[in-house]
Amino acid sequence: MLEEVSRAEIQRALQRHLSSDWGDCEPEDAIANDRAVSEGTRLFSVYHSSSGTKFWIITEADRSATTVLLPDDY
């Protein structure tokens, strides 16, 4: 992953995710994320690196883990 997305880009995306900026996810996913903040369900964000590589950030419903991954890694 670090070959395609830099640590700095991941860090910026994590800050956005924590700020409820869901990036480039579909509008339906953004609405679901807004609900998930109050309901305690899974959060899913989509971002792109400066080179155009898509990556996801997923936070588990119980907030025990947040994972950064490429779509091919899912």
**pLDDT for position 9:** 97
Higher pLDDT pick, 8 / 3: 8
Of 37, 6, 7, nearest to 21 by C-alpha is 37
**pLDDT for position 50:** 95
> What pLDDT, in 10s, does the model give residues 5-50?
999 999 999 999 999 999 999 999 999 999 999 999 999 999 999 9
CA 66 to CA 46: how far, in whole Å? 13
Q: Is the pLDDT of residue 55 over 90?
A: yes
- Three-state SS for 57? strand
Cβ neighbourhood burial of 55 (10 Å; 0-12, 13-18, 19+): buried
